[in-house]
Amino acid sequence: MLILRATADLLRVVTASAADIEVHVSAMEADNATPPVIQDIVRVNTASITTATTTTILDCTTANRRRNVKHANLYNNHASQACQVDVEHTDGTTVEVLASVNLLAGESLVFTQGGVWIHYDSNGGVYPSVGNAASQAEMEAGTATDKYVTPQGVNWHPGVLKCWGKAAGAGTTLHANWNIASIADTGTGRLGWTIGTDFSSTHWAATSAIQRVSTSLAVASVDLGGGMFRNASQTAAVIESENFDETATTNVAQDPEFYHLQGAGDQ
């Protein structure tokens, strides 16, 4: 139920952009007798709102009349332009926003007879509530039991990898990745990884692996780079993998078939 009961009362729509908002309102009108007598059954179609403006969609200008809004419908008929829409009630002095919604093209906002505002997408589906999505802080804490996880929020959980990648053994091509901005071939058997969105400190957990070039177990064919990083190579943004064989006296740097990296920590 939504009431207009004085001549100054208005139901208005504030549009924030030049879209094409079509508005319909259905209402019942009664006088102030005891008991009230139904005077009219009102329906108002407002001309399409195509600018950023404030538009009255229902008034109550006849003295001693009350209007009870049964249904209101706002539809964005524009092909592409989204529009922030505020529905507000004024008694001539005080203005209250009743609903505030960003209507994408083809979407609608409906006020039902039961007093419920419903936001429909362009396919007629009802928007789900997003009020209980976990925040970044809640995801990082990882303890809430009354929040749900959004696709973006998944990344913030401490148990989730913040970056990963697979690069060619020569270090010259990155084949697949998440959050890796570039790789650096700084020499045979060495590969630098540069992260897109950095970690918050140098202390993040990195895991390295390599795919061997050969299936032979001869010492010269064994790659020892699995799990190896070059000393002092880790910063919040960069780390360097190494690979070498197992020959005597001094191991020799050599390229693996592929390098792999996984990084977990706080961003």
Partner 1 sequence: MEVYIAVTVSNGEVYHLAVQTEFRAPTRPNGDGWSFDEKRGVWLNSISDTYIEYLIAKNERQWAHRRDGRGLPAYDAVQVVSWRRLTQAEHEQFNQDRPYRNALRDRDGRIEHDIAAARERHRDLLRHQRAQAMPELDARFMRALGQGKKAEQDAVETERQKWRDAPADPSIDAAQSIEELKLIKVV
Kindly list the residues in this chain that would bind partner 1 in the complex (CB under 8 A): 152, 155-156, 167-168, 170-174, 177-188, 192, 194, 196-198, 218-220, 230-235, 237-238, 240, 247-249, 252, 255, 267
Q: Which two tokens stand for residue 95?
A: 């203005």
Q: Using the minimum distance from each CB to partner 1, give the nearer residue, 55 or 247.
A: 247
Q: Using the minimum distance from each CB to partner 1, give the nearer residue, 92 or 142.
A: 142
**Three-state SS at 221:** helix
Q: Which of 180, 175, 136 is nearest to 161 (CA)?
A: 180
Stated as kind and residue range, the H or E segment containing 65 is strand 65-76
What distances in angstroms separate CA 86 from CA 58, 66, 153, 225, one per listed residue?
14, 23, 29, 60
Closest contact distance (angstroms) between CB of 224 and partner 1 is: 14
Closest contact distance (angstroms) between CB of 203 and partner 1 is: 15
Q: Using the minimum distance from each CB to partner 1, give the nearer residue, 25 or 134.
A: 134
Closest contact distance (angstroms) between CB of 163 and partner 1 is: 8
Stated as kind and residue range, the H or E segment containing 148 is none
Q: Using the minimum distance from each CB to partner 1, give the nearer residue, 43 or 175.
A: 175
DSSP 150-206: -HHHHTTSTTSEEEEEEEETTSS-EEEEESEEEEEEEETTEEEEEESS--SSS--EE
CA 151/CA 27 separation, integer angstroms: 42
Q: Using the minimum distance from each CB to partner 1, give the nearer residue, 158 or 187.
A: 187
Q: Using the minimum distance from each CB to partner 1, give the nearer residue, 17 or 247.
A: 247
Q: Using the minimum distance from each CB to partner 1, give the nearer residue, 46 or 150.
A: 150
Cis amide prior to 151 (ω within 30 degrees)? no
CA 9/CA 92 separation, integer angstroms: 6
Closest contact distance (angstroms) between CB of 174 and partner 1 is: 6
- Contact (Cβ atoms closer than 8 angstroms) between residue 258 and residue 210: yes
Closest contact distance (angstroms) between CB of 241 and partner 1 is: 13
Closest contact distance (angstroms) between CB of 103 and partner 1 is: 18
Closest contact distance (angstroms) between CB of 6 and partner 1 is: 46
Q: Which residue's entry shows tokens 């906002």? A: 109
CA 200/CA 197 separation, integer angstroms: 9
